[in-house]
């Protein structure tokens, strides 16, 4: 106890990121001070600068790592466009429900990034959207999807799926599996050919 200095703890770095993530998600990047983050970690504000060059980089790295994880966590399975779309939709929901705070700040704090950092994050986001659009285009070419504009459909599907984080809470009426299935069903009907 009371080991306040000189400790080679090695755990402070992750704790700084965790605290920053939680506080940024709860109060917003601009509303959180370095002193608040430090208090949460149990350290003085100056010590944070051993783990990040500045506050902005703390935000940027959270967002970048999140999007790189999202991209790394999904790859197109074998099969037709319909199979790929189902896989994409279910993975998107599962991933987002597992990381509500990261998803939240990645969508909310874009405007607090420097122009250079914004460009990086925007590029990663576009990569992700492009994957979905490629599936939709393939489905149109196969004749199984009927969407007049794949870019619009991409944005519509992503908005709908991401929106799940705004209302879903574990322990409610529906399980994660239920939610995945129902969302996938709506996506499927919305883009499939031969509908009502």
Partner DNA sequence: CCTTGAATTGAACATGCGTTCAGATAGGGT
Partner DNA sequence: ACCCTATCTGAACGCATGTTCAATTCAAGG
Our CB check for a copy of itself shows the closer of 97 and 160 to be: 160
Strand partners, 192: 145
CA-nearest of 63, 83, 93, 81 to 158 is 93
Question: In this chain, which of 47, 76, 160, 176 binds a copy of itself, going by CB under 8 A?
Answer: 160
**Which option in a copy of itself, DNA, none does residue 49 bind, with CB closer than 5 to 8 A by kind?**
DNA
Instruction: Report the nearest approach of DNA to the CB of residue 26 (Å).
Output: 14
**Which option in a copy of itself, DNA, none does residue 9 bind, with CB closer than 5 to 8 A by kind?**
DNA
12 binds DNA (CB under 7 A): yes
Q: What is the DSSP annotation of 156-185?
A: HHHHHHHGGGGT--TTSSS-HHHHHHHHHH
Q: How far is CA 180 from CA 15, 29, 52, 190, in A?
A: 32, 30, 37, 15
CA-nearest of 117, 10, 127 to 55 is 117
Question: In this chain, which of 17, 55, 66, 125 binds DNA, going by CB under 7 A?
Answer: 55
Our CB check for DNA shows the closer of 50 and 108 to be: 50
149 binds a copy of itself (CB under 8 A): yes
99 binds a copy of itself (CB under 8 A): no
At residue 78, what are phi and psi to the nearest 5 degrees? -65, 150
Instruction: Report the nearest approach of a copy of itself to the CB of residue 157 (Å).
Output: 8
Instruction: Report the nearest approach of DNA to the CB of residue 33 (Å).
Output: 3
Q: What is the DSSP annotation of 45-83?
A: GGGGGGT-SSHHHHHHHHHHHHHHHHHHT--PPSS-HHH
Which parts of this chain interact with DNA (CB under 7 A)?
2-10, 12, 32-36, 38, 42-50, 53-56
């Amino acid at each position: 106890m009371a080991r306040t200095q000189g400790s080679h703890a090695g755990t402070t770095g992750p704790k700084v990121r965790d605290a920053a993530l939680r506080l940024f998600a709860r109060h917003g990047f601009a509303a959180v001070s370095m002193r608040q983050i430090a208090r949460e970690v149990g350290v003085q504000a100056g010590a944070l600068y051993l783990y990040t060059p500045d506050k902005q980089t703390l935000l940027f790295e959270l967002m970048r790592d999140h999007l790189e994880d999202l991209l790394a966590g999904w790859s197109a399975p074998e099969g037709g466009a319909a199979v790929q779309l189902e896989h994409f939709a279910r993975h998107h929901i599962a991933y987002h429900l597992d990381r509500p705070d990261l998803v939240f700040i990645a969508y909310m704090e874009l405007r607090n990034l420097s122009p250079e950092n914004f460009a990086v994050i925007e590029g990663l986001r576009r990569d992700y959207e492009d994957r979905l659009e490629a599936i939709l285009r393939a489905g149109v070419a196969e004749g199984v999807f009927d969407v007049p504009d794949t870019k619009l459909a991409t944005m519509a599907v992503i908005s709908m799926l991401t929106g799940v984080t705004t209302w879903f809470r574990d322990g409610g009426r529906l399980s994660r599996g239920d939610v995945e299935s129902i969302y996938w069903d709506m996506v499927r009907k919305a883009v499939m050919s031969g509908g009502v």
